[in-house]
Amino acid sequence: MIVVVAPGQGSQTPGFLAPWLEDERLRDQLGAISDVAGIDLVTHGTVSDADTIRDTAVAQPLIVAAGLLTLNALTAGGRDEYIGAVAGHSVGEITAAAAAGILSEDDAIRFVVERGSAMASAAALEATGMSAVIGGDEAALLERLAELGLQPANFNGGGQIVVAGALDALAKLAEYPLKGTRVVPLQVAGAFHTRFMQPAVAHLETVASSLTKNDPTLAIYTNRDGSLIEVGEHFVDLLVGQVSSPVRWDLTMTSLADAGVTGIIELAPAGALVGLAKRALRGIPAVAVKTPDDLAAAFDLMEANA
């Protein structure tokens, strides 16, 4: 079974969409997405600098748009029949929802624009951030986080947990790391997937109520607990709650392994999820589709697993 995965915020880099937009069809698609979003994603994907595309209100629509473009290129010519399941990490779940037919492309873009704006507003209320903790004992880390008033935000598997909370508490964790751990501050604007994002949830509940939800036409796994979701409305409810609850990518990967995954293809801006899969799903071939040049390897993997 080939599983297509969609990355989350932080995976974008300046100019990463430029190679994709050499294809006039994809450039037109991104132009149409930009019109729906009310944001010039063509500019942001090609010439905007790192600080500009780090802005949560820009980054999230840009990442989902990139995933939709890659998906379009990946499935052209009827290749969608090779895909057995889909999953997304954090904001990538919105890309996954569109891939599975739960949301239309336009509704996915409308939702992610509201999500990015609401999360940016919530992040502005207090000085918070996130850090990746690599290695060490999970139980000991969770105990230390409780002492510092921090929360686990992403259980990424492969020995990596992203933690979030007040900047001074994150600094203390970095200054006095637990034995066997490495703490890496992340360039994000707030404590996503924690209680600090609760102000965004109420707004997104209202936004979600206006969306058309369809039951998935493709198997889709959730970040909430790694489970397979069969009701589109339920998946959208989870998308709303996910903003202030931890991303359990570790459980998603476990579910994919249990389901018999034989290959993983990561949509642009790709790399992070393939890296995690190589550590947690050893032996499963994976392709990171960063540029159009990577499509050939993805097609080969799809056909080899037909």
Catalytic residues: 90, 193
- CA torsion sign for 181, 187, 193, 197 is positive
Give the burial string for 161-194 (b: 16+ CB within 10 Å, else e): bbbbbbeebbebbeeebbeebebeebebbbbbbb
Alpha helix (H) ranges present in 132-227?
138-148, 167-175, 198-209
Tokens describing residue 89: 């990490």
**Cα separations (Å) of 213 from 67, 111, 118, 145, 166?**
20, 12, 21, 37, 36
Q: Does residue 269 have a cis peptide bond before it, meaning omega lies within 30 degrees of 0?
A: yes
DSSP 143-169: HHHHHHT-EEEEEEETTEEEEEEEHHH
| Rounded Cα distance, 247 and 223, in Å | 5
Tokens describing residue 42: 């063509």
| Rounded Cα distance, 294 and 132, in Å | 28
Cβ-based neighbours of 299, under 8 Å, separated by 6 or more:
79
Q: 């979003």: which residue's tokens?
A: 37
SS3 269: coil
CA 244 to chain centre: 14
